[in-house]
Amino acid sequence: MNQRMLLASVEYAKPTTLEDAVRLLSAHDGARALAGGQTLTNVMKARAAAPDVLVDLNGLEELRTIARTGDGGLELGSMVTLSELIRSSEVAEARPILGEVASQIADVQVRNRGTIGGNICSNDPTNHLPPLVAALGAMMTIRGGDGERTVTADEFFLGVYMTAVGPGELLTKITIPAAAGTGDGFASVTIGIDGTCICNAAATVQDGQARIALGCVAAVPLVLTSTAEDAAVRQAVSGAELDPPSDVHASADYRRHLAEIVAVRAVQEAAA
């Protein structure tokens, strides 16, 4: 029998309740949550991760919901796919930037499987959604054996590929506050249209004040505040003394330059 394989041997479970998912993640040291699989499957092929047990979250219907909160914000289940974000009328009404940015991620097939929770939990510095949720002031709810806790983006993003979601825990929902200000913006320079970001920035503007989150320049989204004028935004970014990585796509100097450009563009969009 032809047994062509790419993945190392792994155990698999598909729980249908959150309790069972958390129990499975806690019970096995080498357990990993499998969300959309658009990163994890590839990482497993490359042997960059070798989980002993995959806990498939695709059976957890309660993580697939999109709801408006009482104050007009959004409560997004972590297993909402990027395509569902793009199509959601609730998202389009409350914070349309989420759908607009989701539609720039990779391609149709990846967006059909990839999830909002997976995108922020992987916390690849080039991902789109970590800076966006940081700029929007999102709160992340994490479920573990001892119950639930809710953290800010600042507390959530800990390092490259690292978040506050610990062993035996699970990101269950992302709560986005209602739009209070003028608007939201996002800008990026990518490798090809909708490709990997070389540098990106998300911004919100309220009463002439901008809150900016820069991606691709540090291990975690870097949040800055300034007034919304172009010159002030540039000064805020240059004053942050960024130490971004150099790679084949951009030197550190060029990324520093791009950070100013994308920050100004994101703030301009938010203020428009």
Partner 1 sequence: MIEPVRGQRISVEINGERHERDVEARRLLVHFIRDDLDLTGTHVGCDTGNCGACTVIVDGIAVKSCMMLAVQADGAKVETVEGLAPNGELHPLQQAFSSFHALQCGYCTPGMLMSAKHLLDHNPEPTDGEIKRAIQGNICRCTGYVNIVEAIAAAAKGEVK
The residues that touch partner 1, with contacts defined as CB under 8 A, are 2-16, 20, 23-24, 28, 37-38, 41-42, 45, 53-56, 58, 83, 106-110, 112-113, 193-194
In the bound state with partner 1, the residue whose beta carbon lies nearer, of 44 and 264, is 44
In the bound state with partner 1, the residue whose beta carbon lies nearer, of 8 and 160, is 8
Neighbouring residues of 59: CB distance < 8 A, sequence distance ≥ 6? 14, 15, 16
In the bound state with partner 1, the residue whose beta carbon lies nearer, of 34 and 217, is 34
Q: Whole-number minimum distance, CB 188 to partner 1, in Å? A: 16
In the bound state with partner 1, the residue whose beta carbon lies nearer, of 69 and 112, is 112
Q: Whole-number minimum distance, CB 5 to partner 1, in Å? A: 6
In the bound state with partner 1, the residue whose beta carbon lies nearer, of 19 and 247, is 19
Q: Whole-number minimum distance, CB 86 to partner 1, in Å? A: 11
Burial label for 196, CB within 10 Å (0-12, 13-18, 19+), is middle
Instruction: Retrieve residue 132's tokens.
Output: 């966006």
Gyration radius from the chain CA atoms:
19
Sign, CA dihedral 247-210-128-30, equals: positive
Query: How far, in Å, are 16, 23, 161 from residue 130 at the CA level?
Result: 27, 27, 11
Q: Whole-number minimum distance, CB 118 to partner 1, in Å? A: 12
Q: Whole-number minimum distance, CB 165 to partner 1, in Å? A: 20
Q: Whole-number minimum distance, CB 88 to partner 1, in Å? A: 15
Write the DSSP string, 12-34. Answer: EE--SSHHHHHHHHHH-TTEEEE
Write the DSSP string, 167-217. Answer: TT-EEEEEEEPPP-SSEEEEEEEESSTT--EEEEEEEEEETTEEEEEEESS
In the bound state with partner 1, the residue whose beta carbon lies nearer, of 106 and 164, is 106
